Amino acid sequence: MATKKRKTAKPKRAAARTKKKPVKHLVMIATRKGLWFLHGDGARKQWKVEGPHFLGQIINHVMLDPRDGRTMLAAASTGHLGPTLFRSTDRGKTWKEAKQPPAFAKAPEGAKGRAVNHTFWFTPCHANEPNAWYAGTSPQGLFRSDDGGDTWYSCSYINEDPQYIEWMGSVQDGTPDGPKMHSITVDPRDPAHLYFAMSGGGVHESTDGGKTFKTLVKGMEVVGGFDASNIAFHDPHCMRMCPSNPDRLYQQNHCGIYRIDRPSDEWVRIGRNMPKAVGDIGFPMVVHPRNDKTAWVFPMDGQTVWPRTTVGGKPAAFVTRNAGKSWQRQDKGFPKSQAWWTVKRQAMTSDGRDPVGLYLGNTGGEVWMSRDEGKSWSCIVRHLPEIYAVEAIALS
């Protein structure tokens, strides 16, 4: 008996000595009709819905600055007004409109200049560049802010470059919601080393902070019958760099799932190893925060007229734990049939915890999450508008 008592008492005292600040979780949900937050407890079991913010406005993306834990940006537009940005410096409690949202340069007289339809993607710049952000727009443009998102400027020649504009194509060449610049990625080892992707227009890399870019599309396939050497035909949907290995990137493309290991300049289609009945078409790409061999996708039906719904109406994530050599289906908790979701490219993410929490939002206004790296899923909110983007963060 005495031995048993000592065994149970010791860990309690140890736990009390090493008690850490409680961790909370914040999930930011950008929808076609506004912005919502989910506040979660440390166990990620209890969730409280807060919102709407900006009811009626299209919120394409929302992002909390991980460098200060307070600054939040929301990209807003409506069906009728021009685009704008809102900024918060108190983690979404209060908001102010940005003084100067992203906008292209005025074209010379007689030339047809481009106009930003909406800001689509935010990426905080390097950790050593506090208050600096990149934004990608629709139509495709790369912008930067150095004042926490209040004023933005065109930060690269590509926004006016005839070759790049040809690769970007017109609205007719883009996705139904407009052609997009996305997946702006900063190398944590070097603030001047950037990647971005365009739908359409391929993947591009800069090693000089955006002064020059080169294409990075070797190995990527395009729709049958089109010429893969034409950058305009490449349609990456989402690209992610592994935090544990910045030389490894994964990509979900219109035409498959890929991995690249730099300095190689060739993508490898690891989606070939997905089950044939499921295929390797989809929008989001999620990487493990600490293991570069682990990544998740959420396949969509890419056949015939590209329904872009769950394959067979049966939602499932797929995980690889060996860098794409094999994939395992993860559907425990999801509806078994007649669930025709679409999950957009910014609508699946992780929270960085151990075990990793995964979150996805669907076009039916539901957010599903997994506390065990995809082994099982549960719905944590439903009845929201169509979800465009989901971001999650653990707060201490």
Q: Given the rule CB under 8 A, which residues bind another protein?
A: 78-84, 97, 99, 101, 103-107, 112-116
Specify the residue, 84 or 230, whose C-beta has the smaller distance to another protein: 84
CB closer to another protein out of 17 and 112? 112
Sheet containing 190-199: order of strands:
180-187, 190-199, 202-206, 214-215
Query: Cβ 144 to another protein, closest distance in Å?
Result: 16
Q: Secondary structure of the chain: what % helix, strand, coil (to 5)? A: 10, 40, 50
Kindly state the tokens that stand for 35. 């912005």
CB-based contact 353:288 (threshold 8 Å): no
Q: How far is the CB of 74 from another protein (least distance, A)?
A: 14
**Nearer residue to another protein within complex by CB, 159 or 185:** 159
Min separation Cβ 78 and another protein, Å:
6
Smallest gap from residue 199 Cβ to another protein (A): 22
Nearer to another protein, 11 or 110 (CB): 110
Q: Cα 175 to the chain's mean position, in Å?
A: 17
For the CB of residue 297, give the shortest distance to another protein in the complex, in Å: 30
Q: Which is nearer to another protein, 37 or 143 (CB)?
A: 143
CB of 89 to another protein, least distance (A): 18
In the complex with another protein, the residue whose CB is nearer, 95 or 196, is 95
Report the residue number, 115 or 127, with the smaller CB distance to another protein.
115
**Beta carbon of residue 52, minimum distance to another protein (angstroms, whole number):** 14
In DSSP notation, 308-376 reads: -SBGGG---EEEESSTTS--EEE-TTS-SSS------TBSEEE---SSPPEEEE-TTS-EEEESSTTSS
134 vs 143 by CB, closer to another protein: 143
Tokens 């094999």 found at: 326
Q: Are 376 and 12 in contact (CB under 8 A)?
A: no
CB 366 within 8 A of CB 49: no
Judged by beta carbon, residue 154 or residue 207, the one nearer another protein is 154
Residue matched to tokens 């300049």: 265
Judge contact between 311 and 299, C-beta under 8 A: yes
How far is Cα of residue 313 from the mean position of the Cα atoms in its chain? Answer: 23
Least distance from another protein to the Cβ atom of residue 117, Å: 9
Chain-centre distance for alpha carbon 257:
15
Which residues, in sequence order, are CB contacts of 264 under 8 Å at separation 6+? none
Per DSSP, what are the bridge partners of residue 26? 39, 393
Residue 3 has which token pair? Answer: 């031995």
Q: How far is the CB of 151 from another protein (least distance, A)?
A: 12
Structure letter (DSSP) for residue 83: P
